[in-house]
Chain A
Amino acid sequence: MSYIVNGKEVAAVRFDPTAMVPEPVVVESGGVDAGATRGNPSWQFKWSDKFTWLATSLKFLGIQYARIEQQYPATPFVFFFATQRFTFGALEFEQNFGIICLKSKFPSESFEVGGGSFIVKLVILVRCPRKEEKKSELKIMESKGGGTEAQKYIWEGAIPLQIHLHESEVTTLPTPPPAMILAPRIGYLPLLAQKIKPFFSNSLPPGVDTIWFEYNGLPLKWYIPTGVLFDLLCAEPERPWNLTVHFRGYPGNILTPCDSEDSVKWSFINSFKEASYIINGNCKNVMHMSQSDQLELWRSIMDGNLDSYLRISSKLKFGILVDDFSIQLNISSPKSLESTQNADGTAPAKTGRIPVRLYVRTINEDFDELEDAPVIESWDRISYINRPVEIHGDGKCFTLYDAITKLLPEFFGEKLPPKDDVSKEEVEVVEVEQRLSPEETNKSNTEQSGEMLNEGIVSCSVSDGAEIKLLRIQGIEPKMEIPFAWVVNNLMNPEYFLHICVYVKIQEPITI
């Protein structure tokens, strides 16, 4: 994404704050993005004049900045807030943006982009280069303290929300401004109640609070982690994510009841038990947890405290999935042996069943751009599959592709040769690929395709022309060749379930 400022190029930073596996920061130049207001939503967004939003924006930009800094420690970035003025007939508008760019391309106090003029209001931070150095991107996940790097990203990951009170519950004038908050990816929406309530408490009609949220008229299932809802319902990530909050009129026919934090906690613990049962064949470890451990586990989720979570969950002795691919990697490159073992943390144990929650969003109309994906009006458009993936340790590398073929065989008919499918499907680059040297990546590809050819794939079509458009886990679109074990160990949610969102295009309407 590149911006032209006063005829000069302004290099822009592309960074997804809700993506968990660190994406390489891309500094591009060349090309023109005419719509300044339609830039990359991950770093460009508007905020209201409210101080709260400014504070949130600062925090939001700060998080991104910290990550960029970590990735490119010597690169001089600056981030600033600017106001864009534009006119529409007789009306004048102001829109505020937070922008990150290369310091050398910093556009001074005012600049023009795409027909609008910007006035820089606040420059937040400037980082000067100390020396030219570039960190190697070819590093294998390292475990610092507790948890893998990916786990840390997942636990820190948050989605900026702009929450509006539903108009039917507004009893005061003027309408209360929207609340801006960061919602943790691994969290659940009702847990935000305490933070949100103060924004709207004065406007609410009398009555008892039962909080629920909707997006474009669709009531949001609170027991699905917030990050999963975002990945599933926002084909093109919308930041901030505009949600409507209700404190009255709970839609009990669509949503299971949620009257307190306890509902969320027990939903989490019951999922945790289910995962434990899938992995261990019983859920004694969770059932026999002490009250204080149970409480601490729950607090760690509420506070996003990964270290505390790891301390409790390690006591539960969940079998960790063998990353067979990493073992292969070790044989071919002894150097990486140490770091891979670190990544796994403990000695791998045998486990054949992986807890997976799969959300299949079916779309009938074709669309080229994700932002053109139709709005979901009903949960009937989403098929929810709660089925473990069984892995039989036959020595072959079991990839994400293999897992998806097992879960959704109907979309892997003969007319979609696996090789093409993999290349066509994938949009984003994940760093995993870069961590492996080219030889290894190639090796896995050839091995994989060989395996595919040998085994053959059972055709079990739901309908002609069904096609997987997008697969998203924790905000990223992982390559299908990634070993499934890596995906599970690094991208699962704290309740040991791997949540996978799949967008499927089906030409003819089907009955659900």
Chain B
Amino acid sequence: MSSISSWDGTITSTQFHNAASTFSEIWNNFDLEFPHWSWINCPNKPGFAATKLQGYLSLENMILPRTTEEECVLAGIEDLTCSSEDLFNDTAILVQKDSKERHHYDFHVIYSSSFRVPVLYFRAYCSDGEPLAIEDLEKDFPAYTAQELAVSKWTFITQEEHPFLNRPWYTLHPCGTSEWMKLLFSNEPSVVSQGGVAIEKYLTSWFSVVSPVFGFKIPFKFSTFINSTPSKFGNVATVI
């Protein structure tokens, strides 16, 4: 195990599997008003015997919370998007609009052997099952995500082949993940007090960075619970 200073922000496939099982267990025990995470096993796929990891973490049929004024302020972008939202702040219209435009999201968290980090794959569809194009998704995303999309068309969200399902899914590019994971923990006082980065915390922290892309946040009570729970699987990296 590496020390926190030399740790490169990555985890092994076994650590990912352990983290995923704890993460989903705790998530599902909380009443978070979100769908449950489950581990999907893909056994007997040729070529996957080498890693014991034959599956991924999945949360399906999620309906994204609507972008609110608060989030726009958070991102420091108080612009037309927000004010136009206010104009239509008529509950009757909102309900009607909501039921019409309700988009369902499926999220899969898959371990990347190349980058040695979790990678988020997702797809979105209308209530009738019609898949959504990236242009439709932009309207669901908070303004800062839409901005990022416009700037980095090819390196932020792209369609890639789902490693287990062989179909095109959207994915968040993982090439910077290990770096920001390392950054996240290098200034974290609890890392010092707990003697290292607990495996369980890794995935929670990762998800806390990834989920705002879609305009939702991990509830505070959930993060604090994970942080206060003693680690079952030990640390990803230790403090010397």
Instruction: Name A residues whose Cβ lies closer than 8 Å to a Cβ of B.
Output: 221, 223, 252-257, 262, 266, 269-270, 273-274, 277-278, 281-283, 287, 355, 358, 360, 362, 379-380, 382-388, 406-411, 460, 462-463, 466, 504, 506, 510-512
Contacts and interface: CB of A to CB of B under 8 A. Distances in A.
A257 B161 contact: no
A385 B48 contact: yes
Contact of B114 (A355, A407, A408): A355
Contacts of B147: none
B161 A510 contact: no
B50 interface: yes
A255 B168 contact: yes
B154 interface: yes
A387 B45 CA distance: 14
A37 to B, nearest CB: 36
A380 B166 contact: yes
Interface centre among B46, B161, B179 (most CB of A within 10 A): B46
A274 B47 contact: no
Contacts of B155: 266, 270
Given A270-B154, A270-B173, A277 B115 contact: yes
A277 B163 contact: no
B70 to A, nearest CB: 33
Contact of A460 (B49, B113, B161): B49
A406 B50 contact: yes
B84 interface: no
A179 to B, nearest CB: 27
Nearest to A461: B49
A262 B161 CA distance: 18
B159 A256 contact: yes
B167 A388 contact: no
A274 B160 contact: no
Nearest to A380: B166
B161 A256 contact: yes
Contact of A408 (B8, B46, B178): B46
Nearest to A382: B166
Contacts of B168: 252-257
B51 interface: yes
B3 interface: no
Contacts of A360: 46-47
A506 B113 contact: no
A383 B46 contact: yes
Query: Contact size class for B?
Result: 20 to 34
Contact of A407 (B50, B159, B178): B50
B141 to A, nearest CB: 18
The 4 closest A-B pairs by CB, nearest first: A266-B154, A410-B49, A256-B168, A385-B47
B121 to A, nearest CB: 12
Interface string B42-64: 01111111110000000000000
A451 B55 CA distance: 33
Q: Which of A270, A387, A407 has most chain B Cβ within 10 Å?
A: A387
B38 interface: no
A362 B47 CA distance: 11
Nearest to B161: A256
Nearest to B178: A282
A411 B49 CA distance: 10
Interface string B203-217: 000000000000000
Interface string B118-146: 00000000000001000000000000000
Contacts of B45: 383, 512
Main DSSP-derived SS at the B contact region: loop
A223 B43 CA distance: 26
A463 B159 CA distance: 33
Contact of A409 (B43, B49, B115): B49
Contacts of B77: none
A379 B166 contact: yes
Contacts of B48: 383, 385
Contacts of A273: 175
B166 A407 contact: no
A451 to B, nearest CB: 19
B158 interface: yes
Contacts of A388: 113-114
B175 A504 contact: no
Contact of B163 (A253, A384, A463): A384
Given A256-B159, A274-B175, A387-B113, A510 B131 contact: no
A323 to B, nearest CB: 23
Given A388-B114, A409-B50, A511-B44, 10 more contacts: A253-B131, A256-B168, A257-B168, A270-B155, A274-B115, A277-B114, A277-B115, A380-B166, A384-B161, A460-B49
Contacts of A379: 166
A282 B175 CA distance: 8
B69 to A, nearest CB: 33
Contacts of A266: 154-155, 158
Contact of A274 (B51, B114, B166, B179): B114
Interface in B79-117: 113-115
B159 A257 contact: yes
Interface string B162-184: 01001110000101001100000
A269 B47 CA distance: 26
Contacts of A408: 46-47, 49-50
Contacts of A460: 49
29 contacts: A252-B131, A252-B168, A255-B168, A256-B158, A256-B159, A266-B158, A270-B155, A270-B158, A270-B173, A274-B114, A360-B47, A379-B166, A380-B166, A383-B47, A384-B161, A384-B166, A386-B163, A406-B50, A407-B47, A409-B50, A411-B46, A460-B49, A462-B44, A463-B44, A506-B46, A510-B44, A510-B46, A512-B44, A512-B45
A184 B129 CA distance: 39
Interface in B21-57: 43-51
A386 B114 contact: yes
Nearest to B13: A387
A461 to B, nearest CB: 8
A382 B47 CA distance: 11
A273 B115 CA distance: 10
Nearest to A274: B114
Contact of B46 (A255, A274, A504): A504
Contacts of B161: 221, 223, 256, 384
Contacts of A411: 46
A512 to B, nearest CB: 6
A274 B168 CA distance: 18
Contacts of B178: 282
B166 to A, nearest CB: 5
Contacts of A380: 166
A254 B114 contact: no
Contacts of B167: 253-254
A273 B51 CA distance: 23
